[in-house]
Amino acid sequence: MSELVLYNTRTRRKERFEPLEPGHARVYSCGPTVYSPQHIGNLRPYLFADLLKRALLAEGLRVTHVINVTDVGHLTDDADAGEDKMEAAARRTGRRAEEIAAEYTGQWLRDRRLTNCLDPEVLCKATDHIPEQIAMVESLEEKGYTYRLADGIYFDTSKFPRYAEFAGLDLQGQMGGHRIGDVEGKRHPADFALWKFAAPGERRQQEWDSPWGRGFPGWHLECSAMSTKYLGERFDIHTGGVDHVKVHHTNEIAQSECALDVHPWVQVWMHEEFIDFRGQKMSKSKGNVYLLDDLVAQGHPPLAFRYFFLQAHYRKQQTFTDEAMEAAATGYRRLLGQSLAVKDAEGEADAARLAPWRERFRAAVRDDLNAPRALAVATEVAGEGGLSAAERRTLLAEFDAWLALDLLSAERPGAAAESDPRIDGLVAEREAARRARDWAEADRIRDLLAEEGIVIEDSPEGPRWRRS
**Residue 342 belongs to a domain:** yes
Do 24 and 91 share a structural domain? yes
Q: Which residues contact 420 (CB under 8 A, 6 or more apart)?
A: none
pLDDT digits (tens, 9 = 90+) for 197-242: 988 777 788 999 999 999 999 989 999 999 999 999 999 999 999 9
Confidence (pLDDT) at 432:
78
Do 367 and 248 share a structural domain? no
Do 89 and 44 share a structural domain? yes
- Strands 62-69, 122-125: pairing is parallel
**Residue 115 belongs to a domain:** yes
CA distance 255 to 278: 37
pTM: 0.86
pLDDT digits (tens, 9 = 90+) for 407-451: 998 554 333 445 566 787 788 788 877 877 788 888 888 888 888
End residue of a domain, out of 276, 310, 343: 276
Bond preceding residue 264 cis, omega within 30 of 0: yes
Confidence (pLDDT) at 129:
96
H or E stretch covering 442: helix 439-451
DSSP calls for 139-193: HHHHTT-EEEETTEEEE-GGG-TTTTTTTT--HHHHHTT--S---TT-SSTT-EE
Q: Would you say residue 458 has pLDDT above 60? A: yes
Q: Which of 116-120, 237-241, 381-385 is the least confident region?
A: 381-385
Question: Domain of 326?
Answer: 298-403
Q: Would you say residue 163 has pLDDT above 60? A: yes
Do 47 and 99 share a structural domain? yes
